[in-house]
Each structure stands twice: as structure tokens, then as C-alpha cells.
Structure 1
């Protein structure tokens, strides 16, 4: 028993030492020469692994930017000071999936345990950006002084405009698309703030609403035992129920990821909201939903993928098969840089902790399979089609009515590939805003996460060029809607859904006999 206690004590002690050393490195300047080595390493790995590195920027321009970066590094810098120099250069590649990660502070087990029993600080709100201004979009906990529509003027006595100006170079989108940047910064500026100033128990905030300026402190509140128990019971009930599983209940957003509704009394219009293509229980959801649609009088289907950041290629391919009546090929063969590129993929990252030992045992078989998975066509290397994205037949219960798809600048990755294919085939009418993901495809799928040796920053690099089977537009922008409708700040804060309202009104005009 004494030995067991000793081993536990040593384990805890070594963990604390590891956290301490990690955090000390975060605050230790790295020599200019070593940081320049990290710049070279990052660029070399990008050239070796990224299958379309010069899609939106020429090689000469990118060479110049990396060379120029090195000339600006003339003194030792802390890792996150170096991040602020390298991240904007990575962003110039204009790949929304490609981003450098800052050196995050590591927490002790006690700090992690304490945070689990606390509510967030800035993370408790949703924000909306209007130029260089930030407004509170949602305050579900009804925290005083942060009502919906409140403008954030300063945090820690720093004007919000200055913070946005500092963080804006760290975000990027696919190609020359502009719409994604606003949504990305709306989501990410609080995390940039936390990365810069740490996890705070409270923060000084200056706000304005109804022309009244207030200064106060936002505090990190504790979760009571009653609140925690109530939430755990509710989440357990929903996630284990058949409805919760099939609709993919999300315990963080406290909402269903997918849902099908009939918003009119006659059920001639169906509305399907998909918040993310998570892949979880998606097959069963679409099977049930389109069986329901088949039996219903629905002649119109509105698919809402606004603020959907993408996810599973299998899911969008499966959904598409319910929307068409003819055989189709959804995406082209996936291009990689070399036969050995997929050996660099983050193999263990896809397995839960308990399964990792088994994954290590079967790793040799993975290597053999990977070695046999490529083919060479016209001096380019592609992954052999494994059948998922080959020529496919439509589903028996495919929907034959008219399809509207709602998109915005936060429809990204897979949520751009789907409307791109639907638009190319003239199968859906797109309403809203240009998507944040590119019309002609993206570089994502599997990643190779490179750890820069000296600064310890992480750079995940997409290994697969994924493109829909369409006639490419070569616009280097997102999917453009057939009807552009961009909500104003006032409409957003008033919760007016002008894009959905337009689609409903258009259907009513097309089919006046409904009334």
C-alpha cells in the first residue's frame, strides 16, 4: 500500500513539474537564430505536404514573405511573440483550414478541476461584429449589464478596436473570400484574448447601451452542486434518448445538431437545420427524415447550413444522395503531394484514449494500407477511390420537390462543398451570403501536425485537396448565392431572420394556391 501511495505521489509530482516546465518555456525568449530555423522548418513542411500551396498566392510572393519575416527577427522572442509574427504570414496562404496555434498555458489538475466547476467569462456570450465594433448577441444567463445589443467598448482598459486590429491578421479564409473573416473573428477574439492575458477570474469591461456607458467587472461564477446535477441529468436524458442520438444532441450548445420541422399548417414546406456535419448518427437521421418527407405533402425543402463549419465528407455525400434522382459523382479524386505524404498524417489523433493501445498494435497494417492507397495520373498523386465517393445511385426516398439552401459567410468546408455541387447541378436555389469556404474545393481531410522545434508552436497542415465534381468557377472565392441577402446589425440583434423569411415568402409567391 505504501508503494502505491508513493507511485501516486511521484506521478502527481512529475505532472506538476511537467506543467511548470511547460509554462516556463512559454515565458522564456528563444534566440533569433532558432526562431529563423522554425520559419524555415514551417515553410519546408508546407512545401512538402500541402497539395495546393500556391493556389491563392504565387511561389515568388510566398518566398518573399517568409524571407522578409526572417529579416524582422533580430532579437530573442517569447514563443507567443514569435506567433504574432509567423501567424499573419501563414494566413497569407489564404487557406481557412490552415492556422498556426499559439503556445497555450498548461493547467495543473487542480486548476482543471476548479475550472470544471466554474462558468466561463467571455465564453458565456455570443458576439456580433460590425466593422471594429463588438456587440452582445446573446446573454442566455441574463447576466447584468450584458443585455443583448450591448456594445463592448473596452476590456482591461484596452479599446476593443485595438484588440480586433491586433487579432485580425491571425484569421484567414479560403482564397479572396471576405465573408468568413467577420464570423471567424466573432468566434475567436475571446480565445485570442485568453491566450494573451490568461484565464482570468474577473475582467474589467466598459460597455454602452442606450447611450449609457458603464464600467464594471465580469466575474467567473461557480457552478452550484444543484445546477451541475440538474444539467448532468438533463444532458444524460437527452444524449441517451433515441431522439437525442439521431438528432445529435450537443451538450455544449444545449440544442440538437440536426432537426426537421414543418413550419406551416399544411406541411407543404419542410425546414431542415444542420448546425455541423458531425457525422454522428447522421445516416439514421437522414434515413428517417427523408422517409418522413416521402410520406408528407412537402413540395419544398429549406436546408439551413448557415454557421455550419463543415465536418464529415461522408455525411454531405449521403445527404446529397437524398436530393437527386440520377447517378452522381460527388467529389473528384483526392490529390496529395506524394505517395509518402499520408504517412505523415496524425494517426493516433483519431482514436479515443482507451483504444490507442490497440491502434498502436495495428499501426503496421495501417502503413501497408496507406502505401497501397495512392495512384499516379499525369504526374500527380491521388488517393485511390475507396468506393465512398465513386459513382453513386440516389437514395430510394430522394426528395423530388424544390430545394432552397440557406448559406452565409460562416458556411465553411463541407458546408461549402455541398452548396457548390447543388448549384453546379442546378438542384437548389441558394439564399443568403457568399460562403466562407471556397466554391472550388479546399485542403483539409487528414492533417499532419508539425511542432516547431524551438518555439514549440503547432502547425496542422492539411494533406488532401478535396474538390467537388463540378465545373470550376476559378473565382478563388466562396459559393455565391442565387439571391444575396445580408442582414443588418439591427436585424441580427432583433433576431429577424430575413434570409429564411425571404425563402418562405418566395415559396408563397410560387404557390399561392396554398392559401
Structure 2
């Protein structure tokens, strides 16, 4: 027992030293020469691995962007300062999945334990962004009695407008879409702020509500016994939680079915994320129930769904299609060997990595054999997911409405584009944040810049729905455009859903 205790002490000590050493490096400026080499390294890797680097920006213009940022670096910079220089240039590629990862301080086990005992800070509120202004959209926990709809003017005397303008160049959508950015900023603002100013125990928030100014102190409250007990209960798996993919953070199901009329004529499916977890069982049971109920209309709500599993949306489409279909085109890759740079070990937990190492070389060889050269391009062929499929036995045959908004991204955009192209559904809402004609994602090759150590995950696949492309370089446009106002959102008025219900009753 003494030996075990000693070994644990040594392990903990080494861990603390490692964290201290890592964090110290984040405060050390890096020479301008080394930072310029990192910029060149990042661009070379993008050119080598990204399958469609110049879809939304000409090569000459992107060359100029990378050269220009090098010319702005005249003195040593810390990794975070360098991040704010390079990240906007990476965003100029206009691929929503592509972004430079900001450097974050590591925490000791003691610090992690302390945070787990506390509630969050800025992340406990949900936000709305419009015209360089930040509003509180929802405050479910009544944190500091901050009212929904209040405008946040400053945090710790730092003006919000300045922060938003600083963070805006870090965010991009697919192509020339403009609806995605405000949703992404509202979601990522607490992260950006924490990365720049560190983890705090409290923040002072200046608010404007109607004609009054107010100041609130938000602190990291300690979790009560009731909070911990509820967390423990939320984490306990049940069959319903598995099938509907329960999210203990939002305390809600990620997918759900309900009927909006007493006669079950209108089925409504809300999918918050295509996580893939137990999704086959959910769709099998859901569409069996819809068929049994003899529903005439189906509303598929994928607003604020950022995407996820390609297998899940392919399976979902097989319950919506009327005829045999091909859902996804063969995946385009940059060259014959780019797929061999994929993040192989990231899919395995640490204890399995030694075993996974045995399959490393066979996996790379298999990847090479799957690449085909056609019309001066390279494609990954041909797994089961890309082959033509028949509709499922319980596929829905009635009329379909799909709800989308600017935060419908990636897989949500792909299935929306396919449904619209095949004239299988009426699309309602706001242009999607993800591109109509496909996106670069799938699996990633994470490159670590040699000197700054910043991480650059690069998507290796061009994923495109099997449709006639629009070439608009934008998102999926709705058949009927409806954008709720902030006031309607605060009042919980679902104007898009109301329009569909009115349309159905009119029939």
C-alpha cells in the first residue's frame, strides 16, 4: 500500500509539473521568424489535405491573405496573440468546419475537481446576437435575477461591442451564407471570453433593460446536495433516455416525437443533433408509431441542429423517401494519400491505444486502396452508406414540412438540400448555415503548428448530397422564409410552426 501511495504521489506531482510547464509556455512570446514558419506550415498543410480549399476564395486571394498576415508580425507574440492574428485568415477559406483552435490553459486535477463542485459562470445564460449587441435570450436558473431580453453592455468593464468585433472574424459559415454567424457567436461567446481572460470565480455584468441600467455580480455558486443528486439521477441510463438521446446538460431529449392534433394527423419530430446514438431504434419505433396513427402530415424540426452522423441522416431519409434513392455522392478527397493523415488514435480511449496501434498500418493501407482517381479528382469509394437504397417498410408517405434556421448546419443542411431537391418536403424558416451543395467534414487530420503548438483540424472529405447543385455558394434556402423577431423569441412564439399549422388547416 505504501508503494502504491508513493507511485500515486509521483504521478500526481509529475502531472502538476506538466500542467505548470504547459501553462508557462502559453505566456512565453515566440519569435516573429518562428511564427512566420507556423503560418507557412499551416498553409502548406491546408493545400495538401483540404479537398476544396479554393471553392469560396481564389488561390491568388488566399495566397495574398497568408502573405499579408506574415507582414503584420514584426515582434514576438504569445500563442493567444498569434491565434487572433492567424485564425481570421483560416476563416477566409469560408468552410464552416475549418477553424484554428485557440490555446487554453490546462488545469490541475485539484482545479478540475473544484470546478466540478461549482456551477458555471457565463455559460449558464443563453444569448442572442444582433448588430454587434449581445442580449440575454434565456436565464432558466434565474442567475443573479438577470431578466430575459436584457442587453449586456459590458463584462468587467470591457465593452461588449469591442469584444464582438474582435471575435467576429474568427467565425465563418459555409460559403457566403450570413445567417450562421450570429448563432455561432451567441453559442461560442462564453468560450471566447474565457479563453482570452481566463477562468474566473465571478464576473461583473453591466446590463441595459428598456430604459434602465443595472449591474449584476455573477459568481460560481457551489452545487447544493440537491443539484448533485439531480445530476446523478440525470446520468442514470434508461431505455427512454438511450432511444431519445437524453442530454443531461440541457436536461432534455435530443430527439422526440409528438402529435400536434388529437386525431394524430400531424406528427412532429424535433431533432436537436444527429448524434447517431441509438438513432436506428428511435426512427424504427417512431415511424412505426406514425404509420399506426395514420398521420397525414409530418413536421421535421431541425432548427439549431448543428449536424452530426452521416449514417443517421441517411437512415432518416430512408423513412422519408418514396422511391429508391442515392443519398450521398462518393466522398472527394484532396489526393491519393490525404486520408492516411486522418486522426486515427483520437477515436480510441488511452487504455486501448496500445491495442489500436496493431491495426494502424493495415488501416492506412485499406484507406489507400479505397481511393479512386476519376476526372482529375480523387474519391473515396464505396462504402454501404453511399450505395442506392430503398425506402423503409414504414416510410412516411404523406406531406412533409421541414423547419430550418441559420443554425441548421452540416448534416442538417445536407438532408434539407436532399429533401428540397427531390421535392419531398416544403422547407420553412431561414437559410441554413451549412452549404446547400455540400461541406468539407467527415474525418479530420489535426495538424499541430510546430512553434506555437496551435491545433488546426482539417476536414478530409467533401460530403455532398446526391442532388442537382445550385452553385449559389450559400445555404439551403427555404420555400417560405420566416424569421422570428427577438421579441417573438422572448415570448416563446413559434411563428414558423404556427405558419405550418395554419397552412395545414387551410387544406
Measured after TM superposition, the shift of residue 356 of structure 1 is 2.8
Structure 1 residue aligned with 2:125: 125
Q: Which secondary structure state, in structure 1, belongs to the residue aligned with residue 355 of structure 2?
A: helix
Measured after TM superposition, the shift of residue 64 of structure 1 is 0.4
Structure 1 residue aligned with 2:143: 143
Q: Which secondary structure state, in structure 2, belongs to the residue aligned with residue 419 of structure 1?
A: helix
Q: Cα RMSD (Å) of the superposition?
A: 1.0
Instruction: Tell me the distance in 1 between the aligned counterparts of 2:363 and 2:303.
Output: 36
Q: How does 1:63-102 map to 2 (within 5 A)?
A: 63-102=63-102
Structure 2 portions without partners, runs of 5+: none
Q: Which secondary structure state, in structure 1, belongs to the residue aligned with residue 145 of structure 2?
A: coil
Measured after TM superposition, the shift of residue 495 of structure 1 is 1.2
Q: Does 1:324 align with 2:292?
A: no
Structure 1 residue aligned with 2:455: 458
Instruction: Tell me the distance in 1 between the aligned counterparts of 2:14 and 2:371.
Output: 44
Choose from 247, 263, 266 the match for 1:266. Answer: 263
Measured after TM superposition, the shift of residue 389 of structure 1 is 1.4
Instruction: Tell me the distance in 2 between the aligned counterparts of 1:198 and 1:252.
Output: 22
Structure 2 residue aligned with 1:24: 24
Question: In the alignment, is the contact (CA less than 8 A) between 1:130 and 1:489 conserved in 2?
Answer: no
Structure 2 residue aligned with 1:340: 337
Structure 2 residue aligned with 1:508: 505
Structure 2 residue aligned with 1:513: none
Structure 1 portions without partners, runs of 5+: 511-515
Measured after TM superposition, the shift of residue 383 of structure 1 is 0.6
Measured after TM superposition, the shift of residue 7 of structure 1 is 1.9
Indicate the larger mover: 87-96 or 366-375.
Answer: 366-375
Question: In the alignment, is the contact (CA less than 8 A) between 2:234 and 2:248 conserved in 1?
Answer: no
Structure 2 residue aligned with 1:315: 312
Instruction: Tell me the distance in 2 between the aligned counterparts of 1:328 and 1:70.
Output: 48
Q: Which secondary structure state, in structure 2, belongs to the residue aligned with residue 261 of structure 1?
A: strand
Q: Does 1:375 align with 2:372?
A: yes
Instruction: Tell me the distance in 2 between the aligned counterparts of 1:229 and 1:355.
Output: 32
Structure 1 residue aligned with 2:190: 190
Instruction: Tell me the distance in 1 between the aligned counterparts of 2:503 and 2:363.
Output: 51
TM-score by length of structure 1 reads: 0.97
Measured after TM superposition, the shift of residue 335 of structure 1 is 0.6
Choose from 350, 353, 358 the match for 2:355. Answer: 358
May I ask how many residue pairs the two structures share in their alignment?
A: 507
Q: Does 1:470 align with 2:452?
A: no
Measured after TM superposition, the shift of residue 313 of structure 1 is 0.5
Instruction: Tell me the distance in 2 between the aligned counterparts of 1:98 and 1:473.
Output: 22
Instruction: Tell me the distance in 2 between the aligned counterparts of 1:272 and 1:313.
Output: 18
Q: Which secondary structure state, in structure 1, belongs to the residue aligned with residue 53 of structure 2?
A: coil
Question: In the alignment, is the contact (CA less than 8 A) between 1:431 and 1:482 conserved in 2?
Answer: yes
Instruction: Tell me the distance in 2 between the aligned counterparts of 1:277 and 1:356.
Output: 27
Instruction: Tell me the distance in 2 between the aligned counterparts of 1:364 and 1:36.
Output: 34
Instruction: Tell me the distance in 1 between the aligned counterparts of 2:3 and 2:283.
Output: 55
Choose from 383, 387, 394 the match for 1:386. Answer: 383
Measured after TM superposition, the shift of residue 3 of structure 1 is 3.0
Question: In the alignment, is the contact (CA less than 8 A) between 2:234 and 2:251 conserved in 1?
Answer: no
Instruction: Tell me the distance in 2 between the aligned counterparts of 1:425 and 1:462.
Output: 27
Indicate the larger mover: 122-131 or 44-53.
Answer: 122-131
Please list the CA deviations of residues 208-248 of structure 1 after superposition, one character each: whole Å capped at 9, or x if unmatched.
22322111311111112332023212331xxx211111101
Choose from 420, 423, 426 the match for 2:420. Answer: 423
Measured after TM superposition, the shift of residue 275 of structure 1 is 0.2
Structure 1 residue ranges, 4+ long, deviating more than 4 angstroms after superposition: none
Structure 1 residue aligned with 2:114: 114
Measured after TM superposition, the shift of residue 266 of structure 1 is 1.3
Instruction: Tell me the distance in 2 between the aligned counterparts of 1:228 and 1:197.
Output: 28
Instruction: Tell me the distance in 1 between the aligned counterparts of 2:341 and 2:501.
Output: 48
Question: In the alignment, is the contact (CA less than 8 A) between 1:408 and 1:435 conserved in 2?
Answer: yes
Q: Which secondary structure state, in structure 1, belongs to the residue aligned with residue 9 of structure 2?
A: helix
Instruction: Tell me the distance in 1 between the aligned counterparts of 2:230 and 2:419.
Output: 43
Structure 2 residue aligned with 1:409: 406
Instruction: Tell me the distance in 2 between the aligned counterparts of 1:136 and 1:354.
Output: 42
